[in-house]
Amino acid sequence: MGSHASGVLAHHFHSISQQRAAHSLGMWLFMAQEIMFFGGLFTAYVVYRALNPLDFAVASSELDAVLGGVNTLVLIASSVTMALAVKYAQLGKKNMIVLFLIFTFLFASTFLVIKYFEYSAKFEHHTVPGYDFDFHVPADVIQKFELSPERIATMEKRAEVFFSIYFAMTGLHGLHVFIGMCLIIWLIFPAMKNKFNVDYHSPVENFGLYWHFVDLVWIFLFPLLYLLGRNIH
């Protein structure tokens, strides 16, 4: 068990390890809430896709799977740098904590920059729901599935449902990335003042949990949103 001499034990805890367990428990309960928060959107996705599998696949094939894939790798890399930042916090290595928090911050901003380019392309191509939405079913799809004019017309409307879900899910996820970047800045200052050590590193550790959760959500969003229509053309 850690020493009590470091002055980081709050008076209402019995020991350092109990304090750490309580911090961790609180964060995990928050994570459970986050899972249900995104879960509602995933449920919407599941229901609407189950009702219109082909429409979703066609709309999905409009997304840029290369950018989505690169962003997947960027987030995975940021998860590794974050995991290492937590490790250095556990060891109390001040400079390494700061360095790896900065790495994580840079990967996070890379993710949002790529996201920005993706979103602007959507505005240019009129695939933003409620904003001059104008989706056209590609000719090869019409031919392959022998779509009637009525079917094409509804598919073009269903595409708006897909893009609504796309923007809701990636938007909420992007907001989490942005909040994560703010929290990294918030963590860098105490890290520079050498506040984290073997006995007290819960803020870094708990932020790490949040950051890995952001990565987790994307692990599911990438195949479910970007890769659906890869085999229909």
Partner 1 sequence: MATQAHTGDEHHDEEVHISPHSTYYWVFGALVVLTILTVWTAGMDLGPLNDVVALGIAFTKASLVVLFFMHVKYSSRLIQLIVVGSVAWLAIMFGLTMIDYVSREMVGVDPEAVPNPYERFEMPAADSGHGGDHGGGDHGGDAAHAEASAGDDSH
DSSP state of 62: T
Among 4, 25, 131, 189, binds partner 1 (CB under 8 A): 25
| Nearest distance, CB of residue 167 and partner 1, angstroms | 14
Q: Spell out a b/e string for 134-146, using b for 16 or more CB atoms within 10 Å of the CB, else e.
A: ebebeeebbeeee
Q: Per-residue string for binding with partner 1, 112-141, x by CB under 8 A?
A: ------------------------------
Contact 187, 101 (CB under 8 A): yes
The pair of structure tokens assigned to 198 is 């073997």
Q: Which is nearer to partner 1, 120 or 136 (CB)?
A: 136
Nearest alpha-carbon partner for 201 in 80, 78, 103, 100: 100
Please give the size of the binding site for partner 1, defined by CB under 8 A: 66
Measured from the CB atom, the residue of 10 and 50 that comes closer to partner 1 is: 50
Q: Could you tell me which residues come within 8 angstroms of residue 16 by beta carbon, excluding any fewer than 6 positions away?
A: 1, 2, 3, 4, 8, 9, 199, 200
Smallest gap from Cβ 101 to partner 1, in A, equals: 15
Note every long-range contact of 95-103, with CB atoms under 8 Å and residues 24 or more positions apart, other chains counting: 97/191, 97/196, 97/204, 98/188, 98/191, 98/192, 101/184, 101/187, 101/188, 101/191, 101/204, 102/188, 103/78
Which one of the spans 69-77, 104-112, 119-127, 175-183 is the region binding partner 1 (CB under 8 A)? Answer: 69-77
Choosing from 111, 163, 215, 225, the residue that interacts with partner 1 (CB under 8 A) is: 215
155-184 residues near partner 1, rule: CB under 8 A: 156-158, 160-161
Residue 134 DSSP SS3 = coil
Nearest approach, Cβ of residue 209 and partner 1 (Å): 6
DSSP E strand stretches across 100-189: none
Single out the residue of 41, 112, 147, 181 in contact with partner 1 (rule: CB under 8 A). 147
* Binding residues for partner 1 (CB under 8 A): 1, 17, 20-21, 24-25, 28-29, 31-32, 35-36, 39-40, 42-43, 46-48, 50-51, 65, 69, 72-73, 76-77, 79-80, 82-84, 87, 90-91, 145-154, 156-158, 160-161, 198, 208-209, 212-213, 215-216, 219-220, 222-224, 227-228, 230-231
